[in-house]
Structure 1
């Protein structure tokens, strides 16, 4: 059984000279939590995608993801 956890995000809107919102600032800890959630979601999807091939363990998926992330940083 999985429970949905709602993450409360404290937002500060950045406005332009016409008082129109152009950006949002959030605390770094909340940004890092969002990043972690997205990375975990991506790992789950990666594991599911290769169902037809050899299924990756969590450790293998983490290594593969780290390699992809490093490759993207180098680009």
Structure 2
């Protein structure tokens, strides 16, 4: 597993209140979370109506626009 380079932001009492990470790391994390969620969504919907690839891509693009 890769280490994430991070910088902590602290308050006046030196308590950690936030963290900064490189945008590349954030984008990797974001992609991993999306893939994980998609996997579980697909797993939870086994046995339901299946879409062909074109219909699935159209549906996914619609979901992304609504975010």
> Which category of TM-score, normalised to the shorter sequence, fits these structures?
0.7 to 0.9
Moved segments of 4+, more than 6 Å: none
Normalised by the size of structure 1, how large is the TM-score? 0.71
Unaligned runs of 5+ in 1: 1-5
Normalised by the size of structure 2, how large is the TM-score? 0.78
Secondary structure, aligned partner of 2:18: strand
Unaligned runs of 5+ in 2: none
- The Cα RMSD (Å) is 2.0
- Per-residue CA distance 1:4-55 (angstroms, 9 max, x = gap): xx23111100000111100000000000000011111111111111113024
Q: How many pairs were matched up?
A: 66
